Amino acid sequence: MRSNRSKALASDGIAALGTMCNVASPLMAEWLGHSGYDFVVVDLQHGENDLATVAAMLQALSSTPATPVVRVPSKQGMAIQRVLDLGAYGVIVPQVDTRADAEAVVRNVRYAPAGERSWGPVRGAIYGGPDYFSKAAGELLVLPMIESAQGFGNAREILAVDGIDGAFVGPADLGITLGESPEDLAKLLKRVDQPVGQIAEIAHSLGKIAGVHAFDVDDAKRRLAQGYTFVTVMADMRLVRAGASAALTALRDAVPARVGY
């Protein structure tokens, strides 16, 4: 089976860097995959992607060196199983608040007797290889999202579940459940800094991967310093907007007060 390079890097304590793909464009996914990221997350929870577009997104990523990961829209088992069947090499599962939630996630990733995933990797076996059934448990990356006060309180129990490779922290939702507003992002990030650091410590103590979303490069550097080894930095739409704004600002600064003769 094809090896999961991003999972191997993050598990070995070497930072795997990626970004989110919210736009339902295979071309965008392909560009991102060829941009040097270790992995690209096709985001079905936010943005315009859905099950009708995810297959094409994963096909586009398969032509690149980047590991194809999907953030599913919910912890519902069918969503997890279907994206794996279509070739996702990792799943990020939102709103996992308890050990029971985490155990359910694992059951939907693993085949019997360890789980209840139904056999039918219509594209997963093409991308993964002919030994997909026997090797999938070791290669597929399973990251529940810890993004609530309840999930934070249960972080050790969630991460201790066999088959859970680590956690992926959602700082925005975590901050909201701790009483902060996303309209004041600086204040929210300051509030979650300690809990986010604690989750990384718990993950390391259990030999699990610490994953997190970062809002910009400086935020990503802080998370890397906290020990996070699986980090998404921004998303395609934010990257395009930031690049466009920077180019336009630089150009406007260079425009003379009066143009013409």
Catalytic residues: 46
Tell me 117's DSSP state.
P
Q: Which residues pair with 215 in a beta bridge?
A: none
- Which helix (H) or strand (E) segment holds residue 214: the answer is strand 209-214
How far apart are alpha carbons 116 and 106 in whole angstroms?
Answer: 9
How far apart are alpha carbons 92 and 30 in whole angstroms?
Answer: 20
CB count within 10 Å of CB 172 equals: 17
- Which helix (H) or strand (E) segment holds residue 40: the answer is strand 39-43
SS3 123: coil
Q: Which residues pair with 43 in a beta bridge?
A: 71
SS3 90: strand
Burial of 136 (C-beta count, 10 Å sphere; 0-12/13-18/19+): buried
Select from 19, 22, 125 the least CA-distant residue to 67: 19
Residue 147, Cα to own-chain centre: how many angstroms?
13
Q: What angle do CA 63, 51, 147 make, to 5 degrees?
A: 95
